[in-house]
Amino acid sequence: MVKDEVFTLYNGVSIPKVGLGTWQSPVEDAYRATLYALKVGYRHIDTALVYQNEEGVGKAIKDSGLPREEIFVTTKCPADIKTYKGAMEAFETSLKNLDLDYVDLYLIHAPWPWSAVGSDCTEGNIEVWKAFIELYNAKKIRAIGVSNFHDTDIEPLIMATGVKPMVNQIRYFLGNTQPKITKYCQDNHILVQAYSPLATGKMLDNPDLLKVAEKYNTTPAKICLRYCIDKGTNPLPKSVHEERIKANLELDFKISDEDIKILDSIHDESLDRPLRS
């Protein structure tokens, strides 16, 4: 079953194939969604310091009664922090918010501040990455990575430190799969995590998608999520509704190669712009 399946990062750490996203979920909503998700079988929760809901996620993990080692927790260093000291302080804040001894995956949230998208923050990213490596070596983080990075953002990190990100979390969904950075990551054994894997609902009425969903007697949303998995990416669907949280984990089918080709052909240029996550 999908809920028991994992991807393996290049350092040997296992990561559940589907995670619960918590972007735009206030603390109480994040608490309830996380607690319910853990109850129905999720073992992978994604949050971030800027989401301002780490406390809710951490409390749900405690209240779930599950052993800590069974739950994979991702959080992120804010995009506007580009110093070693700032990264260290942000990590300690997240650890305190979550009330955990370690996190499983820590990401640089973006290569530039959201107020200055596209700006060159190479030197700052290298300083942050050095802090990440130190935390990783101290075993406070089990895996380290980036988010919203292009290959031109990743290469300087590797050149400066010799350490390659284990994950790149990007906007990835049926209809807009960012093929250039996806290929770069997969060629370099960097797992692509797919945020907004349902395109915030904007693709769900696509006629070709509807036909494929009908063929499999399932919903367009489930086809979108299964598509991400079958393409070797790690979807992080966000919901605070119990029925949707449960449904988003019911992906125990495989899309045929023929139908994957149909889905690959779908593209919506209106969704080319970056989505903030």
User: Rounded distance, CA 34 to CA 207, Å?
Assistant: 33
Q: What average pLDDT is seen over the chain?
A: 95
Tens digits of residue pLDDT in 115-170? 999 999 999 999 999 999 999 999 999 999 999 999 999 999 999 999 999 999 99
DSSP-assigned states of every residue in 165-215: -SEEEEE-BTTB--HHHHHHHHHTTPEEEEESTTGGGTTTT-HHHHHHHHH
Q: What percentage of the chain exceeds 90 in pLDDT?
A: 94
Q: Counting Cβ atoms within 10 Å, is residue 165 exposed (0-12), middle (13-18) or buried (19+)?
A: buried
Q: Kindly list the catalytic residues.
A: 51
Q: What structural domains does the chain harbor?
A: 2-203+233-241 (3.20.20.100)
Q: Which of the residue ranges 129-133, 173-177, 200-204, 247-251 would you say has the lowest mean pLDDT?
A: 200-204
Please determine, for residue 76, whether its predicted confidence score (pLDDT) is greater than 80. Answer: yes
Q: Tell me, what's the pLDDT at 48?
A: 98
275: Cα separation from own chain's centroid? 13
Distances (CA, A) of 75 to 62, 97, 108, 135, 203: 17, 11, 9, 14, 27
Q: Tell me, what's the pLDDT at 200?
A: 79
pTM: 0.95
User: Rounded distance, CA 45 to CA 72, Å?
Assistant: 6
Q: Spell out a b/e string for 45-63, using b for 16 or more CB atoms within 10 Å of the CB, else e.
A: bbbbbbbebbbbbbbbbee
Spatial CA neighbour of 46 closest among 85, 117, 94, 115: 94
Rounded to a whole number of angstroms, the CA Rg of the chain reads: 18
